[in-house]
Structure 1
Amino acid sequence: MQTNTPPRSTIRLTRRGRLALVVSGAVLAGTAVVVPLLTLDSDTAGGGPARPRTLVIPEGWRAGQVYAAIDKALALPPGTTKQSLAKAELKLPAAAGGNPEGYLFPSTYPVDDKTTPQSLLAAMVEKADKKFNAAPVAAGAQRTSMNTYQAVTIASIVQAESATKADMAKVARVVLNRLERGMPLQMDSILNYGLGRTAAARVNANDIQVDNPYNSYQRMGLPPTPIDNPGEDALRAVMNPAPGDWLYFVMVKPGDTRFTADYAEHQRNLAEAAAHRQSRSPQSAT
């Protein structure tokens, strides 16, 4: 335990899931648990020309959700895409160890009768590679003394932890500040990834004692891999974090995320957030 860090079991940083729905080709995002799977119908009303089918991968989806979406879009049995990884020959960095998490870039991908799981996965990784190795990203990674894989990993945390796009640069700064100070990240989204739960799942005292490589309460530094597939906004936030000394943050209520470097103030913010949740619970309305 770090002497400059309050007891780990008492620290909670903000966590909000994301709801992604596809409506007429547009991705709508909200603050709820992710609903995986999507595909656009190629048929048009009235017997007109068929629209090209597309597969939309929203920001923040985990690899498992992407696999399931590909299976559905290509009308394949569940698990087919995941099983195809071994022969996909994806051009991943050595640090990834063959795991494409973080490199299935969120975007819209065309789908036709010749599309295969391997071709879709390869297209996603190729797009990620172009984005991540672009000059601004490379320069930003060098400026913050990290390699590209580390930057993508941090971006995935920022993606998972940010309630809004406006919060991302501040969340990135919190992550970097804690790393620089030798503090454990202590973020629920990381631990929940390791436990196979949704990023927004509540973490309890027993959870943080689990021996897991993604236990950000017990382990120092970054998790072994990204925890989702971040978009450009999250990556941009990591390359250009907001200036500040913040070490803690919590979403007190929608639209009100509090950042602070003071532990006592963070505890007050946590209490206010808990009170707000309690006031919104069904029991409080009875």
Structure 2
Amino acid sequence: MQMNTPPRSTIRLTRRGRVALIATGAVVAATAVAVPLLTMGGGGDASPSSLVIPEGWRSGQVYEAVDKALRVPAGTTKKSLGKANLKLPNDAEGNPEGYLFPATYPIDKKATPESLLSFMVDTANQRFNKAPVAAGAQRNAMNVYQAVTIASIVQAEAATKADMGKVARVIFNRLERGMPLQMDSTINYGLNRSTLNTTRNDTTLNNPYNSYQRMGLPPTPIANPGEDAMRAATNPPPGDWLYFVTVKPGDTRFTASYEEHERNVAEFNRNRSSASHSAAPTGSPTGSPAGSPAVTPTVTPTG
């Protein structure tokens, strides 16, 4: 299976290639913000007793949350990476994206940015290196880091938990056919933004996360996935799907036919245009219930 290939900046996209697979990264970010960031002990001036990291947050969001939780100057947590001694896989090259595991973390008076980041990475290693994940990665001819990368895309793209497996299968099918992934969520990550409005110009940018121009997986995960996304990435259901779009809330359509996908995209655009003219549109154009919180497990220190 082709997972990573040299940059292909000279690829010319056909009309088929320019049609976006509609990303849900913006919706994931929006729903994550709806989760209470801190659980406060006592009154409003009390120190936080725990920190919630929702599924799908990017590392930058995690750093900012840790800064606020520990009441340290903005940027402190990111600067601490060099001395945190995180137990990351070699493929990560020191970048913890994908390994800041979504969960609720206890905070005590001795907590530091380094200790919290280490806690998150250690938790990710415990969850990702379990037999089901490792065996699933091997079964699909990839290592765990590649599985985390795929899971991060699944986390960003899937409108619902039920869609995660099919999104993962689309990714595998495209990789196996030597097709570019063409995922808007990877472009959003490379441009440090979250939007549904990917332009044709965006798809031509020379960016390592531009999966319209680059073959294979992006160089790193694009978010921190939860266990549901990891299960989908390591055990996707069978299917021949190559395209998907959520035409309206609760209605995500997967297909192997480009012509059918074009019709689905046209319906999505009509629905979005109609919603933009509505005084009070409900839900979101990609199918995730607006404001629905991500569910994160609570972890406790070990050792």
State TM-score, norm by structure 1: 0.88
Kindly indicate whether residue 256 of structure 2 is the aligned counterpart of residue 237 of structure 1: no
Instruction: Note closer, same or farther for the CA distance 1:263–1:210 as it changes in structure 2 (3 Å cut).
Output: same
Moved more, 35-44 or 90-99: 35-44
Deviations 1:99-139 (A, max 9, x none): 00000000010001110000000000000001111000111
State the Cα distance separating 1:38 from its structure 2 match. Answer: 1.7
Q: Which moved more, 1:52-61 or 1:80-89?
A: 52-61
Instruction: Compute the displacement of 1:17 (Å).
Output: 2.9
Is contact 2:137–2:143 with CA below 8 Å preserved after alignment? yes
1:252 to 237, 247, 270: 247
Question: Of residues 22, 39, 42 in structure 2, which corresponds to 1:13?
Answer: 22
Rounded to whole Å, the distance in 2 between the matches of 1:87 and 1:229 is 21
Aligned length: 270
3-state secondary structure, aligned to 2:246: strand
Aligned residue for 2:136?
140
Report percent identity of matched pairs.
Answer: 63
Q: Deviations over 1:32-65 (max 9, x none)?
A: 58469821211159xxxx9971101000000000
> What is the identity, as a one-letter code, of the residue corresponding to 1:64?
G
Aligned to 1:38: 37
Q: Judge conservation of contact 1:70–1:81 (CA < 8 Å) in 2.
A: yes
SS in 2 for 1:7: helix
Question: How far 1:7 moved relative to its partner?
Answer: 3.2
1:1-286 residue pairs with structure 2 within 5 A?
7-18=16-27, 34=33, 38-43=37-42, 53-198=49-194, 200-282=195-277
Structure 2 spans left out of the alignment, 5+ residues: 1-9, 281-303
**8 A contact 2:100–2:117 mirrored in 1:** yes
Partner residue, 2:5:
none
For structure 1, the residue ranges without an aligned partner over 5 or more in a row are: 21-30
Runs of 4+ in 1 over 6 A off after TM superposition: 1-5
Structure 1 residue 12, shift from structure 2 partner: 2.8
Q: Distance in 1 between matches of 2:279 and 2:98?
A: 40
What is the aligned-residue RMSD (CA, Å)? 2.4
Q: Give, in angstroms, the shift of residue 239 of structure 1.
A: 1.4
Q: Structure 1 residues 52-61 or 264-273, which shifts more?
A: 52-61
Q: For residue 26 of structure 2, what is the amino acid of its counterpart?
A: G
- Partner deviation per Cα, 1:133-163 (whole Å, 9 max, x = no partner): 1000111011111000000000000000000
TM-score with structure 2 setting the length: 0.83
Kept in 2, the 8 Å contact 1:13–1:248? The answer is no
Residue 255 of structure 1: how far off its partner (Å): 0.2
Alpha-carbon contact 2:28-2:56 (below 8 Å) kept: no
Contact 1:42 1:53 in 2 (8 A): yes
